[in-house]
Amino acid sequence: MAMPSSLLWAVDIFGRVYTLATTGQYWELCKDGQLEFKRVSAVKQCCWGIACDHQVYTYVFSSDVPIRYQEETYENQRWNPVGGFCEKLMPSDRWQWSDVSGLKHQQLDSFTLPSPHWEWESDWYVDENIGGEPTEKGGWTYAIDFPATYTKDKKWNSCVRRRRWIRYRRYKSRDTWAKIISLEDPSQLPDPFNDISIGGWEITDEPAGRLSVWAVSLQGRVWYREDVCHHNPEGSLWSLVATPGEVVQISCGPYDLLWATLWEGQAIVREGIDRNNPHGISWTVVESPGSENGIMHVAVGVNVVWAVTKDRKVWFRRGVNSHNPCGTSWIEMVGEMMMVNVGLNDQVWGIACDDRAIYFRQGVTPSELSGKTWKAIVSGRESDRSQTGSSTSLLSAGCFFSDEVRDQANSIIQSDGDISSDTESPRVPPNHADAPLSGAAISSNENNADSQKEVGAHLAVDSLDSAQEEANSTSSSSEKAGLEKPESSVDQDTHPAELQWTNIDLKEAHKNPVLTSSTFRETSSVSSLGLFPVGIEEPYGTDEHPFWAWVSGGGCLVDLHSPLKWFTIQTGLSSSVQSLSLSITPAQTAAWRKQIFQQLSERTKRELENFRHYEQAVEQSVWVKTGTLQWWRSWKPHKWMDVRVALEQFTGSDGVRDSILFIYYMHHEEKKYIHVFLNEVTILVEVLNDSKHSFALYTPERTKQRWPIRLAAATEQEMHDWLALLSMSCCESRRIQGPPSHHAVWSVTCKGDIFVSEPSPELEAAPHLIPCDQMFWRQIGGHLRLIECNSQGIVWGIGYDHTTWVYTGGYGGGFIQGLASSADNIYMQSDVKCVYIYENQRWNPVTGYSSRGLPTDRYMWSDASGLQECTKVNTKPPSPQWSWVSDWYIDFNVSGGTDREGWQYAADFPASYHGHKTMKDFVRRRRWVSPFPESSNEDAPTARTEEGMDQLQSFAFYGGVPNLFFVLIHLATIKRETGK
């Protein structure tokens, strides 16, 4: 068969291997059913397993392209003056038959098949091509000596020649289990194996289809299978890998993640795995979640690690990735499992302890790696579907064919009833032998009531008392009619022969009396519908699910957008049965609905009672966001580095949500990381950079060091997304939400951004004053030059264009939108700010006024003080929210006046400037201005006031807190006045 796109593999307690397709509804029994397996480990293209004889087998799917391997050897000759080219070589030459390098002796008869699973496609033949061009007949290529550059043309100085012989071998054991044979001793492996795991296909693409196969022996040693790839699905040999202790079980992920469990209950993690060293370098020990119960089983994926302890508790490892394969801590999950397995996209399966059923972890996404809940897979087996199909076909056929079908059905029922020797078959009166089965084994109304209860229990739907009495009375009357007049039903040739519906249980066949077809029509009860089990080849009954021992989802790709058919029980009814007209009354439908609702309510209470003593996994969930940014590294030479960042947000048992920001980087080809707890972050601010969209994170310690964490994104939108997410996480860590309180401290930065801090009782406590660098500031949308507030929550501000603004009570706005922003009281805000730069010149006796000044002069383009160089090119807006309105132009409205070109004159820098030139004026300057408004898409919780501009210089709120600078001065003044 062709290789399926996605399969889930499982082993039952009898050692049989089943597969379940993501698009299928039934478990299919794998070929070679005579083999019994303990464990399997699957990927998309193949599956490896350990049989009950502790031998390793591999199952490779067939495809349109065969697995072929090219064997080659080279025939070498040297020219002899007597006989020309011959097989006699010089003692210093290479072998007559060798590999391409000439160092290995390879004769044609020395090549053998690596295992019985290979076969030769053809005999040896000469390759008559060199570099894609045909050679002369015979395939010889010539050179001056060994080794050298070979050509297809023979020259006068060609002293040696060679040609390549090729033979292909093909892997033939596909769609079947192939035993891995050891080259040292074909009869057995180096050590009886107990566990196996395959992965590592994402480490490198060379060679194609490369896999990492890890195994654990019964003696607790770890082995690695070398050279497993597409052209060599069996690998070459087993290599022993040293471990710090005896290993019980091992798990390998698609990338470089490898975990194993020790006998002592600890876990070990392999580090240093990469494309150049697939074995890894060293082991790191990870302690178990609890001291009493050690780790029994682990399962790893790309960025997740799941574990099962000896008390069957399930645990999730937090903070696992390629830079930190050990993770950070354990989180207990709901449920008790025998084992778990992680597949593609970090999807999780497990086998429960109580019912040995396979459960699928729902809700696993890249942002929620721990998932939401466990859901049982209730898919049936392919054998169950075939039995059901044949049974329903026989039932439907009995409605249309003659007495031969009825006799055949009678024989089937009698043979099935004779299976158990200690049970008594239903007795049929002799005079009713030729009658339909509708008149068999029915004696009284009480017996029929019992049969109805048995059938209802079989389908897990019990009839209500009222509905049951109605069904019993109807069934009783019809049964009496059938018994009293059995011949009438036989003698009526005008009606087709009918076959009754019946339930036959292989274990207790005598407990299920047979009902007539008329009974079924009258009662119209779904619980009376049964099926014929044809065979008993399976150890399970048709109504029993298999008991699973192992599951592997390494090759199962679950699409989150397409629903699976694993979680619905298939009725098994054919179209002919489903098309039967069931006359169900509305009263019976209402009774069934009421009964189903009661059963669901009872089951919900029962399930909640069983899991009441567990901690809620949803409240201890872990949420992770990853991305790629640049980081301004803290050591010299300082430069931007490409890093991977991960924001891990988790909720503790006390309900407090906290977050950690991880930054992973490479230093001297070594993976390292730094982390920041967001409950320690004091402020998040944008950093203006010419070529980077960057922002900074401050903590109390980094504020003292004057070295914040600076990160840069590729686009402005990405930077705003990270700022909004980090700001929201910081507020959640400190339990801050909603608008600022009336006692909040407001502040504006030199760039006009508005920040607010919620005061704590310790802020002004006399014994221990909280330092200002430990206050947390969150940004509020908008842009102001000055801000004032009072204790009643009224906040006013002045923009750079002298416009007054009032706080409307909202929060968020700008890039802080979404869940961290209020839906109301957010309005558009605009502001205009003028930037001034000065052009300075000095008088020269030769050229007059020019831009060449003295070495002690100020910059020729500077600010008003002359201490900072400010040119038209390097003057930038204070933040990305600003943009230029117009180009630079000369400002003539300067104190002291200007001439017609805007120049002001003075004797030297600095001095008093005037607008006319005198004999003592040796320097001059003029002011350039360029206004830029704030971006029009800036949302802010502010509204513009209607007062005139003449009131802007005199407004204030007494008793309020204007800004952070004012707060510090005000407190210092109080201390001095009170003598403290």
DSSP 146-203: SSS--BSS--TT--EEEEEEEEEEEE---SSEEE---SS-TTS-SS-EEEEEEE-TTS
Query: Which residue type does 884 have?
Result: W
565 vs 188, residue with greater confidence: 565
In 3D space, the residue among 210, 211, 253, 250 whose CA is nearest the CA of residue 343 turns out to be 253
Overall residue count recorded for the chain in this entry: 980
**Running DSSP on this structure, what letter comes out for residue 4?**
P
User: What pLDDT is recorded for position 860?
Assistant: 93
pLDDT of residue 805: 86
> How many CB atoms sit inside 10 A of residue 309's CB?
21
Does residue 667 surpass a pLDDT of 80?
Answer: yes
Dihedrals phi, psi of 276, to nearest 5 degrees: -85, -20
Question: How far is Cα 696 from Cα 687, in angstroms, rounded to an integer?
Answer: 7
How far, CA to CA in Å, does 509 sit from each of 420, 424, 532? Answer: 8, 8, 11
Q: Which helix (H) or strand (E) holds 602?
A: helix 586-610
User: If pLDDT is split at 50, 70 and 90, which confidence band does 398 have?
Assistant: very low
pLDDT (average), residues 952-960: 28
pLDDT higher than threshold 60 for residue 234: yes
Token pair listed for 452: 């109805």
Instruction: Kindly tell me the number of DSSP H helices and DSSP E strands found in the chain.
Output: 11, 55
Query: DSSP 3-state assignment of 411?
Result: helix
The better pLDDT of the pair 764, 198 is held by 198
* Average pLDDT over the chain, rounded to an integer: 75
Per-residue pLDDT tens for 838-865? 999 999 988 899 998 888 899 999 998 8
In the predicted structure, residue 476 carries a pLDDT above the cut 50: no
> What's the confidence (pLDDT) of residue 878?
65
The confidence band for 940, taking pLDDT boundaries of 50, 70 and 90, is low
Angle at 416 between CA 412 and CA 422, to 5 degrees: 150
For 258-301, the pLDDT digits (tens) are 999 999 999 999 998 888 888 899 999 999 998 888 999 999 99
C-beta of residue 837 within 8 angstroms of C-beta of residue 864: no
Tokens of 467: 């509905």
Q: So what's the pLDDT on residue 738?
A: 81
User: What is the rounded distance in angstroms from the CA atom of residue 464 to the CA atom of residue 248?
Assistant: 53
Whether residue 491 contacts residue 468, with contact meaning beta carbons closer than 8 Å, is answered with no
DSSP string, 718-746: HHHHHHHHHHHHHHHHTT--SSPPTTPEE
What mean pLDDT do residues 189-216 have? 84
pLDDT tier, 197 (very low <50, low <70, confident <90, very high otherwise) = very high
CA distance 857 to 840: 9
Within 8 A by CB and 6+ apart from 259, the residues are: 250, 251, 267, 268, 269, 270, 286, 298, 300, 305
User: In the prediction, which pLDDT does 437 show?
Assistant: 35
Residue 627 has pLDDT above 80, yes or no: yes
Distance CA 194, CA 249 (A): 8
What average pLDDT does range 407-411 have in this prediction? 42
Q: What angle do CA 277, 170, 120 make, to 5 degrees?
A: 125
Decide if pLDDT at 250 tops 90: yes
Query: Under the phi-then-psi rule, with left for phi > 0, alpha for psi from -120 to 50, and beta for the rest, what region is 825?
Result: left
Higher pLDDT, 31 or 174: 174
For the chain, the maximum distance between any two Cα atoms, rounded to a whole number of angstroms, is 146
Residue 498 pLDDT greater than 90, yes or no: no
Predicted local confidence at residue 467, as pLDDT: 39
To which residue do tokens 């009032």 refer? 806
**What is the pLDDT at residue 954?**
26
- List the domains of the chain with CATH numbers: 34-65+190-381 (2.130.10.30), 68-171 (no CATH), 622-816 (2.30.29.30), 832-933 (no CATH)
Please give the structure tokens belonging to residue 959: 């008793």
Q: 152 CB contacts (<8 Å, ≥6 apart)?
A: 130, 133, 134, 135, 136, 141, 142
768 pLDDT band, cuts 50/70/90, is: low
- Least confident range of 62-66, 110-114, 485-489: 485-489
Smallest CA-to-CA distance from 410 within 374, 388, 381, 436 is with: 436
Tens-digit pLDDT profile for residues 333-342: 988 999 999 9
Q: What 3-state class would DSSP assign to 588?
A: helix
Q: Band the pLDDT of 661: cuts 50, 70, 90.
A: very high
The pLDDT of residue 505 is 34
> Of the ranges 59-63, 218-222, 244-248, which one carries the lowest mean pLDDT score?
59-63
pLDDT at 438: 36
Gap between the Cα atoms of 337 and 359, Å rounded: 9
Q: Give the model's pLDDT for residue 63.
A: 82
Helix crossing, 586-610 with 465-484: angle to 10°?
130
Taking the C-alpha atoms of residue 613 and residue 923, their distance in angstroms, rounded to an integer, is 85
Instruction: Please state whether the peptide bond connecting residue 910 to the residue before it is cis, i.e. omega within 30 degrees of 0.
Output: yes
